[in-house]
């Protein structure tokens, strides 16, 4: 049974979506990136208790690239999380995996090197090291996703709604630009635009982050994904209006074979920048050479 995992934008959204989502993915300050909100460890503890009480699954993201001077905070946080009842911790940096093994922590891990989870052999590699879950890349096709699900024992999560991460840097690329040209900085949130297409751009304490110009909508595909045995579909509220996001979660909840196409079209009507991402689009890597 494919479950719905949600990335909430704020605490209130967790309350509002509690009955509509099976699992929640939460960020922690200074250890997570690419999430709408980063909570303190105390706030995380409160959220975890709330979700435990409501019998919902909870996943915590520690998906930042970790510098040596951040290892202490990482280890401390991982140990604190071990005292909470959480279902999984997402990791990008292998420091998390190494510490998890070393400290024999009880929660499960989620391999979350977002653009690298593109084949089942590597899912199996991490699975053989004890990693239960994998967050799949969004740069692969629907057929590739199904093929991976079929060929690994790893439990898989696939983002099917929301803006997608495209770029992450330790550098403060917007701040640098604004300083260089003597502009004041009043916000962390920007857009960069090329040929009429706008890309969300964030420059915050952690660095610079860019997101897809379009919102991915994989609602119609969830029928096939459910049949394939995918464990979780992931819906991200980042930069989406709260009410619209609640409607979206409801649509993913109530979709079935009969109404899925209608609901899928409805999502296209709700936003003017929705697409199917790479679900039907293969990327190339060799440019045709001409003589």
Partner 1 sequence: MIKERKKPELLAPAGDMMRLKWALNYGADAVYIGGSMFGLRANATNFTIEEIKEATTYAHNLGKKVYVTVNIILHNQESAQLLSYLKDLEKANVDAIIVGDPTVIDVAIKNTNLEVHLSTQQSTLNREAVTFWKNQGITRIVMARETSREDLIDITNNVDIEIETFIHGAMCASMSGRCVLSNFLTARDANRGGCSQICRWEFDLKDENNNPIESEKDFTFCTKDLVMLKHIPEMMDIGIASFKIEGRMRSIYYIATVVSTYRKVIDEYWNNPENYQYNKEYEKILNNCANRESIDQFFDTTCNKEYQYYIGREEISNQDFLGVIKHYDLKTKMATVEQRNYFKIGDKVEIFGPSIDTITTVIEEIIDDYGESIDVVRHPLQIVKIKIDNQVFPDNLIRKKY
Please report, as residue ranges, which positions from 44 to 103 form the binding site for partner 1 (by CB under 8 A): 65-71, 93-95, 97-99
Pick the closer one to partner 1 by CB: 1 or 181: 181
Instruction: Identify which range of 4-12, 52-60, 144-152, 262-270 contacts partner 1 by CB under 8 A.
Output: 144-152
Pick the closer one to partner 1 by CB: 49 or 183: 183
* Closest to 162 measured CA to CA, from 263, 271, 62, 57: 271
The single residue among 140, 154, 157, 279 that binds partner 1, judged by CB under 8 A, is 140
- Three-state SS at 250: helix
Structure tokens at 271: 């936003």
Q: How far is the CB of 59 from partner 1 (least distance, A)?
A: 20
Question: How many CB atoms within 10 Å of residue 136?
Answer: 24
- Footprint of partner 1 on 12-51 (CB under 8 A): none
Q: Is 126 in the site for partner 1 (CB under 8 A)?
A: yes
Structure tokens at 239: 């930069």
Is residue 119 within 8 A of residue 94, CB to CB? The reply is no
Is residue 77 within 8 A of residue 31, CB to CB? The reply is yes
Is residue 22 within 8 A of residue 56, CB to CB? The reply is yes
Rounded-to-integer distance, Cα 248 and Cα 224, Å: 19
Rounded-to-integer distance, Cα 140 and Cα 137, Å: 6
Pick the closer one to partner 1 by CB: 87 or 144: 144
Pick the closer one to partner 1 by CB: 47 or 174: 174
Build a one-symbol-per-residue string for 162-181: x at contacts with partner 1 by CB under 8 A, - elsewhere.
--xxxxxxxxxxxxxxxxxx
User: Sign of dihedral through CA atoms 184, 189, 192, 196?
Assistant: negative
Q: Is 158 in the site for partner 1 (CB under 8 A)?
A: no
Q: Is 191 in the site for partner 1 (CB under 8 A)?
A: yes
Q: Packing angle between helix 260-270 and helix 242-254, nearest 10 degrees?
A: 170
Pick the closer one to partner 1 by CB: 115 or 153: 115
Q: How far is the CB of 54 from partner 1 (least distance, A)?
A: 33
Structure tokens at 62: 């520690």
Q: How far is the CB of 1 from partner 1 (least distance, A)?
A: 25
User: How is 165-209 classified by DSSP, letter by letter?
Assistant: EEEEESS-HHHHHHHHTT-----SEEEEEETTEEEEEEEETTEEE
Q: How far is the CB of 121 from partner 1 (least distance, A)?
A: 4
Residue found under tokens 């996001």? 245
- Footprint of partner 1 on 198-257 (CB under 8 A): 198-199, 201, 208, 210, 212-213
Pick the closer one to partner 1 by CB: 15 or 130: 130
- Footprint of partner 1 on 259-288 (CB under 8 A): 278, 281, 283-287
Pick the closer one to partner 1 by CB: 24 or 278: 278
């Amino acid at each position: 049974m494919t479950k719905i995992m949600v990335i909430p934008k704020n605490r209130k959204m967790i309350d509002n979506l509690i009955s509509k989502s099976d699992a929640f993915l939460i960020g922690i300050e200074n250890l997570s990136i690419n999430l709408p909100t980063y909570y303190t460890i105390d706030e995380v503890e409160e959220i975890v208790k709330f979700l435990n009480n409501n019998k919902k699954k909870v996943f915590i993201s520690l998906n930042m690239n970790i510098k040596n001077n951040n290892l202490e905070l990482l280890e401390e946080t991982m140990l604190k999380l071990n005292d909470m009842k959480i279902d999984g911790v997402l990791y990008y940096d292998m420091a998390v995996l190494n510490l998890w093994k070393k400290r024999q922590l009880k929660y499960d891990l989620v391999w979350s090197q977002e653009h690298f989870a593109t084949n089942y052999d590597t899912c199996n590699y991490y699975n053989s090291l004890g990693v239960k879950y994998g967050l799949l890349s969004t740069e692969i096709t629907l057929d590739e996703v199904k093929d991976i699900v079929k060929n690994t024992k790893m439990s898989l999560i696939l983002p099917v709604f929301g803006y997608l991460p495209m770029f992450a840097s330790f550098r403060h690329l917007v701040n640098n630009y604004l300083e260089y040209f003597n502009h004041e900085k009043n916000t962390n949130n920007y857009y960069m635009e090329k040929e009429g297409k706008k890309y969300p751009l964030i420059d915050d304490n952690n660095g610079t982050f860019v997101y897809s110009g379009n919102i991915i909508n994989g609602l119609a595909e969830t029928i096939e994904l459910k049949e394939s045995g995918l464990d979780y579909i992931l819906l991200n509220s980042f930069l989406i209006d709260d009410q619209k996001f609640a409607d979206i979660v409801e649509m993913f909840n109530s979709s079935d074979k009969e109404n899925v196409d209608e609901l899928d079209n409805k999502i296209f009507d709700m936003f003017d920048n929705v697409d199917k991402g790479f679900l039907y689009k293969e990327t190339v890597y060799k440019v045709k050479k001409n003589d």
